[in-house]
Structure 1
Amino acid sequence: MSSPASPRLKPLPWVLFGSRWLQVPLYLGLIVAQCVYVVQFMFELYHLVFEMKQFNETSIMLSVLGLIDVVMISNLLIMVIVGGYETFVSRLRLEGHPDEPEWLSHVNANVLKVKLATAIIGISSIHLLKTFINAANLDHKTMMWQVIIHVTFLASALSIAWIDRIMSPGTLASMRHE
């Protein structure tokens, strides 16, 4: 038995639907950006390992937090690249592959937004921790603005998650029956 043929689209819908492929160079650019972060990580790791004797405990902690920051940004890039491609361009068809990320099986635009928001909060938390560790060398106004920005990220993420929850079909149905 042959598979059913794909329906033919008229020219305008075909162009509109096909325009999603214009995102591919953007995702490839993010892969290049991730390569830059790998190089940055290696430089920071080299600096930490080979100049360790010049550091005090606080400097080592700040350097390690810098490494964690690079890793978290790299994780954010992977979520955007893989999740964005899967959601907006084309299926990756990784079902059953042993390396398929768990979150990819249920990713959609709303899930991706919530995951990105929480990743940004994690990155912001690392920056805030670095700020507090280095507080003696920073202006109080700078620290205040970093806290305000972090709280804004938290409020935004909570809002996105709340909106996603009330907009999901199962939640709306259960709210009506309560």
Structure 2
Amino acid sequence: MRNTAEHALERGLFATRWLLAPMYVGLVAGLGVVLVKFCLELWHLISEFSLESEADEITVAILSLIDIALLGNLVVIVIFAGYENFVSKIEAAKGNEDRPSWMGHVDFSGLKMKLIGSLVAISVILLLKDFVAIDGKGEDADYTSVAWRIGLHFTFVLSGVLFAIMDYWGAKRQVLLADAHAHHPELEDAEMDRVTP
């Protein structure tokens, strides 16, 4: 009786992963909003363009398009990797020649690294836009907000470095545990922790 109740509880708990599925569908809707914003920015660039347009204005507009495209990439990475890691494998993509090479290979650790990498890239684009805009404004530029963005950018970079170090240590520890288990198969996991440095 206890095993049956335990099995039913565990099946119920395992099924709760499907509560995440509507969140990923919501992100698809968010991706649609990103597409609309991209189209509006592109239309603004095309409609405002003339031979007299300043190069700085065009640069800022194109950087805005790149920024939005990177955001779209980030949303797709979260949808695919998150769904495959936490809900279910995407069988429809198996064998498809357009399936991204990273799909199915990005674990939670890899997802964190891709997220922080995308955030750093988006932050760089925003800083570039600020610097191009400052060049045209001169003394009227808001240096305080630029300083805050620089600080935020370095926070993202530092977070990425710390994530990478933690992942490296975690992977190294797993290798050491596997090696210790190969040399001492009789030891339990708790004893392995004492054997490995």
Distance in 2 separating the partners of 1:172 and 1:154: 27
Tell me what 2:36 maps to. Answer: 39
1:119 aligns with 2:122: no
Identity level (%): 34
Q: 1:165 aligns with which of 152, 168, 175?
A: 168
1:151 aligns with 2:154: yes
Distance in 2 separating the partners of 1:28 and 1:79: 13
Report the structure number with the largest CA radius of gyration: 2
Distance in 1 separating the partners of 2:131 and 2:43: 25
1:77-130 deviation digits (Å, cap 9, x = unpaired): 000000100011001133432111111131100011001110110001100111
Q: Which amino acid aligns with 1:166?
A: W
Q: Is the 8 A contact 2:113 2:160 kept in 1?
A: yes
Deviation at 1:171, TM superposition (A): 7.1
Q: Is the 8 A contact 1:131 1:138 kept in 2?
A: no
Using the size of structure 2 for normalisation, the TM-score is 0.79
> Which runs of structure 2 are paired with 1:18-29 in the superposition (5 Å)?
18-29=15-26
Q: Is the 8 A contact 1:69 1:123 kept in 2?
A: yes
Tell me what 1:142 maps to. Answer: 145
Distance in 1 separating the partners of 2:36 and 2:84: 27
Q: Which amino acid aligns with 1:65?
A: L
Tell me what 2:49 maps to. Answer: 52
Q: Which amino acid aligns with 1:119?
A: S
Q: Decide which moves more: 139-148 or 46-55.
A: 46-55
- Paired positions, count: 171
Tell me what 1:75 maps to. Answer: 73
Tell me what 2:14 maps to. Answer: 17
Distance in 1 separating the partners of 2:124 and 2:152: 11
Distance in 2 separating the partners of 1:47 and 1:133: 18
Tell me what 1:62 maps to. Answer: 60
Q: Decide which moves more: 57-66 or 93-102.
A: 93-102
5+ long unaligned stretches in structure 2: 181-195
Please give the root-mean-square deviation of Cα atoms over the aligned residues, in Å: 2.4
Deviation at 1:162, TM superposition (A): 1.3
SS at match of 1:10: helix
Deviation at 1:48, TM superposition (A): 0.8
5+ long unaligned stretches in structure 1: 1-7
Q: Which amino acid aligns with 1:36?
A: V
